[in-house]
Structure 1
Amino acid sequence: MTCALSPGRRKRVWVRSPEERPGSHCRAPLKRNREPRYRQHSSSDSGVADLFDTPSPSSDEASPGAGASTRRAKEELQLELSIFRDYGQEWYCFQKERESRFLSPDSLAHQPQVKEESRCKLISWLIPVHRHFYLSFESLCLAVNILDRFLACTPVAADCFQLLGVTALLIACKQVEVHPPRVKQLLALCCHAFSREQLCNLECIILLKLHFSLGAPTLNFFLEHFTHLRVQQSQACDQDMTEAIDAKAMARGVAELSLADYAFNTYPPSLLGVCCLGLADRMLGHQKRLDLSISGYLDSVVKDCMEKLQLLVSLNGTSLPRLLPLELSKKHVKTES
């Protein structure tokens, strides 16, 4: 027999164990519901310099295997191409026209307490957080956009900056994800420094300040668009499709680094997207590379952006491989001068 404490009358109540109940041999054992538990990982698993110690899946756990991962990526790309052929160009023109309205190149200009280093540390922390919850790259890009647009119009105290980061991520996940993370999970990652009420109040303030305008064209959208356009022009050859998938994965790692660097806020997402893919082709040594002229930008503008991205990659040489899928990080990465 086991001893249980009745919550109503605060008395000890003796309850029979399943083995002592009559007819217990005919019943299935009861199962207890438990909260999901996340295993702690070292900060080196995150791939960037974290401001806080945050659990995140390592490359070995997140990648099921090179063959299965590539095969699944090809299947998803084929499915996306069937939709892209009908609506891709019209959707791109629509998003390209709107992207200038959602840019915040000087988001820290009127922030007395939040500086470039603080922003870099926060986004460097959000990157492993979004991987910890297995969120899409679209959610991360949208969260950074929400963060910058709010900073551009509202002064934020330094001790509330982390709360702003997780709140922006929550809003982005509600916009993008089918199953966004729960509020208590996000607060737990902040070591319960903030209350649920504080987060919900800040969420309302952000939505009011941004006038509920959350459909920003993101860096992830343009990475996807140029990848689809590349595969469509190559007539979906198997080798070309493999190179396009690898280039997109590499470009996504470079793009994550650029999100944390305030200097890249001046570049529109469409320019960053095509330059990340162009740099990825160069780093992987692809023979058939993306035609950068499809972006519509001048060659001098594209060259300037790619040079700065190249410098960013060289300064974060140890961090980039940890942002990549396992099968891609093991490949020989060749950087051309």
Structure 2
Amino acid sequence: MILSGDQDDVSDYDEADYYDEQGFTTAHSIRDMSVMLPPRFTHKTRAEVDAAKEIVEARLAAEDEEDWDIAMVTEYGEDIFAYMREMERELLPSPNYMDIQKDLQWSMRAVLVDWVIQVHGRFGLLPETLFLAINYIDRFLSVKVVSVGKLQLVGATALLLAAKFEEINCPAVDEIVWVVDQGYSKADIIKAERYMLTILEFALGWPGPMSFMRRISKADDYDSEIRTVAKYFLEVTLMDERFVACPPSFLAAGAQCLSRMILGKGSWTAEHVYYSGYTFTQLKPMMCVLFRCCEKGRKHHDAVFEKYTNRSFKRASLFVEEQIRFGFIPPFQLEFDPDASRDLYQEMHMVPHALSTAIPILG
């Protein structure tokens, strides 16, 4: 899908006029770029979602087991997630923001995200904190043009803000100064924090994909293997600019669906449609792009791949790599790769036949 916008030539801006005293400037223009966008809801897909809702609600017991847990506030569940679906779209970054950056490229964003993932892991922070930090980075860069020398400061500040929002015990400013190798002072971090809050207009409550994944996981009876592989797929999307404009609910649904497929645990059922709000047909284009990202995982998302080789993550990245090497191909892949053939895929993976079932996750 294509988003369009007017293009201004920013190459003639004077350096002194272009950047303000903090090294930032207001975004000026957006030009055309191909991005992955969420699907539209046609009459057909609406009917499918409504039918799934009718089927699932008819199956639900009169007293759901979660009704006994007052912390689950099940009576407000639909209203809460309806609100989250509104907020996820309101707080999305521009998918074309790199076009207004004078010095930056998407590859530089990938390097920054790679670094943020490593720092996030070193501090042992929650998954929600990571996704929130990347959202802050992308939203900030959608509004302000940043010099190369300030890019790491943006990443460090976003991670600090996200940690303050999500964590019980968040890193101290001195620790942030340490992870940037004294590249910025404590005063720089505090000043940048105030500035980022102003640019984001204190709108910090973006609902990340983990919240939506927990809801979808109910359809899988909270299967830990499906969820772990899906979390790996979700973090893969952080590294690729094509997913910048995707709402987190859409990413969570696609990651969960692809995880079920590669694990050989069945199709996208009415329960999955009900809890995710997306049909299988809507998810196919996004899963196709996500699968291609994983074909060369060590090169495409090195930090994420290395993270998920850990036993605590069930070595999910190694499992996905092995499945692809042994010939796993999503059944819809050729629909979105018209120039590819199954023989070409099999030759690339050096196996005679594509596997139809998944092998167990490595222990």
- TM class by shorter chain equals 0.5 to 0.7
Aligned partner of residue 192 in structure 1, secondary structure: coil
User: What is the CA-CA distance between 1:303 and the residue it aligns to?
Assistant: 0.5
Partners of 2:163 and 2:170 within 8 A in 1: yes
**2:180 aligned partner:** 190
**1:130 aligned partner:** 120
* Range moving further from structure 2, 293-302 or 254-263: 293-302
Aligned residues: 250
**2:282 aligned partner:** 301
Which of 1 and 2 has greater Rg?
Answer: 1
Aligned partner of residue 252 in structure 2, secondary structure: helix
TM-score w.r.t. the length of structure 2 is 0.63
Partners of 1:88 and 1:225 within 8 A in 2: no
Q: Structure 1 unaligned runs (5+)?
A: 1-76, 232-239
Given the alignment of the two structures, is residue 322 of structure 1 paired with residue 306 of structure 2, yes or no?
A: yes
**2:225 aligned partner:** 246
Deviations 1:42-88 (A, max 9, x none): xxxxxxxxxxxxxxxxxxxxxxxxxxxxxxxxxxx999896163443
User: Which whole-Å CA distance do the structure 1 matches of 2:260 and 2:157 have between them?
Assistant: 35
**2:74 aligned partner:** 85
User: What is the CA-CA distance between 1:246 and the residue it aligns to?
Assistant: 1.4
User: Which whole-Å CA distance do the structure 2 matches of 1:119 and 1:98 have between them?
Assistant: 24
Aligned partner of residue 272 in structure 1, secondary structure: helix
TM-score w.r.t. the length of structure 1 is 0.68
* Range moving further from structure 2, 167-176 or 83-92: 83-92
Partners of 1:322 and 1:329 within 8 A in 2: no
User: Which whole-Å CA distance do the structure 2 matches of 1:212 and 1:271 have between them?
Assistant: 25
The 1:311/1:174 distance shift into structure 2, 3 A limit, reads same
Partners of 1:126 and 1:165 within 8 A in 2: yes
**1:151 aligned partner:** 141
User: What is the CA-CA distance between 1:317 and the residue it aligns to?
Assistant: 5.1
Deviations 1:179-226 (A, max 9, x none): 101111111111101111111111111101111110012122212221
Letter in 1 for 2:273: S
User: Which whole-Å CA distance do the structure 2 matches of 1:92 and 1:220 have between them?
Assistant: 13
Q: Structure 2 unaligned runs (5+)?
A: 1-65, 330-363
1:101 to 86, 90, 93: 90
The 1:175/1:79 distance shift into structure 2, 3 A limit, reads farther
Deviations 1:79-120 (A, max 9, x none): 989616344332211101221111112232311112100100
Partners of 2:177 and 2:185 within 8 A in 1: yes
The 1:290/1:145 distance shift into structure 2, 3 A limit, reads farther
Partners of 2:67 and 2:74 within 8 A in 1: no
User: Which whole-Å CA distance do the structure 2 matches of 1:181 and 1:218 have between them?
Assistant: 20
**Alignment map for 1:276-315 (pairs within 5 Å):** 276-287=255-266, 292-294=272-274, 295-315=276-296
User: Which whole-Å CA distance do the structure 1 matches of 2:116 and 2:97 have between them?
Assistant: 18
Partners of 2:123 and 2:171 within 8 A in 1: yes
The 1:299/1:251 distance shift into structure 2, 3 A limit, reads closer
User: Which whole-Å CA distance do the structure 2 matches of 1:284 and 1:84 have between them?
Assistant: 32
User: Which whole-Å CA distance do the structure 1 matches of 2:142 and 2:307 have between them?
Assistant: 28
Partners of 2:212 and 2:249 within 8 A in 1: yes
**2:197 aligned partner:** 207
The share of aligned pairs that are identical, in percent, is 26
Letter in 2 for 1:144: I
**1:14 aligned partner:** none
Given the alignment of the two structures, is residue 174 of structure 1 paired with residue 159 of structure 2, yes or no?
A: no
Aligned partner of residue 152 in structure 1, secondary structure: helix
User: Which whole-Å CA distance do the structure 2 matches of 1:280 and 1:290 have between them?
Assistant: 14
The 1:107/1:218 distance shift into structure 2, 3 A limit, reads farther
